[in-house]
A and B are shown apart, each in its own frame.
Chain A
Amino acid sequence: EVQLVESGGGFVQPGGSLRLSCSASGFTFNTCAMNWVRQAPGKGLEWVSGISLTGSGTYYADSVKGRFTISRDNSKNTVYLQMNRLRAEDTAIYYCAKPVLSINKVRGYLTAFDYWGQGSLVTVSS
């Protein structure tokens, strides 16, 4: 059974930092690009960042580029999102998402997502 479990969310003041983790199981993690998607309260879905299966390629939305860093540890089946210089508009539930394998094989992080974690809430407020 595929499981994605996010952790590390919480309350932080503007300008602060948080690191999210997503622990994966139930699939061959090191063959999958991974992505983070967020959803602000009452709003739609926004793609945040993606990482290639080896970690050599990282990709970001313009809204987080230069502030967020995605990484992975394939020995721990975990993907991370380091979030620095946080802003109020970063307040959201952050989801870790697994790619559809057949798409991932050909297109890497450019994929649809067939499994999502339960999400980790990040609140940025003074």
Chain B
Amino acid sequence: DIQMTQSPSSLSASVGDRVTITCRASQGISYYLAWYQQKPGKVPELLISAASALQSGVPSRFSGSGSGTEFTLTISSLQPEDVATYYCQEYSSGPLSFGGGTKVQIK
């Protein structure tokens, strides 16, 4: 089974800061990687699939990169509405697995 490790588990940054979250897979998953945003008390929302394909309606300050075993989600300019927990998910092979999450807060 593939294990997904996210880092950091939490971070605090100022409005306007560039924020980077890393997700590492225990084995190569090509580009079969998605990122989700979950705001407190809400349902997860898909931000990015195929490692870097931004979903329709997602602000362009979000971007994803990587392939193989190392991936990043970048928020180019953190906004107050970006306070949330972010999860990566691999869909290379079963069973599907999610990273442990990164909680993003405003400093």
A interface residue numbers (CB < 8 A to B): 35, 44-47, 50, 59-62, 95, 100, 103, 107, 109-114, 116-119
Contacts and interface: CB of A to CB of B under 8 A. Distances in A.
B93 A110 contact: yes
Q: Decide if the interface of chain B is mainly helix, strand, loop or mixed.
A: loop
Contact of A47 (B38, B46, B97, B101): B97
A110 B44 contact: no
Q: Decide if the interface of chain A is mainly helix, strand, loop or mixed.
A: mixed
Interface residues of B, number: 26
In the A-B complex, the 3 residue pairs with the closest CB atoms: A112-B34, A47-B96, A112-B49
B87 interface: yes
A44 B96 contact: no
B89 interface: yes
Nearest to B100: A44
B91 A60 contact: no
Interface string B63-107: 000000000000000000000010101011111111111000000
Contacts of A45: 36, 38, 44, 87, 89, 98, 101
B80 to A, nearest CB: 23
B43 A61 contact: no
Nearest to A114: B46
B49 A61 contact: no
Given A44-B101, A60-B95, A107-B91, 5 more contacts: A62-B95, A100-B46, A109-B96, A112-B46, A114-B46
A50 B91 CA distance: 12
A114 B55 contact: yes
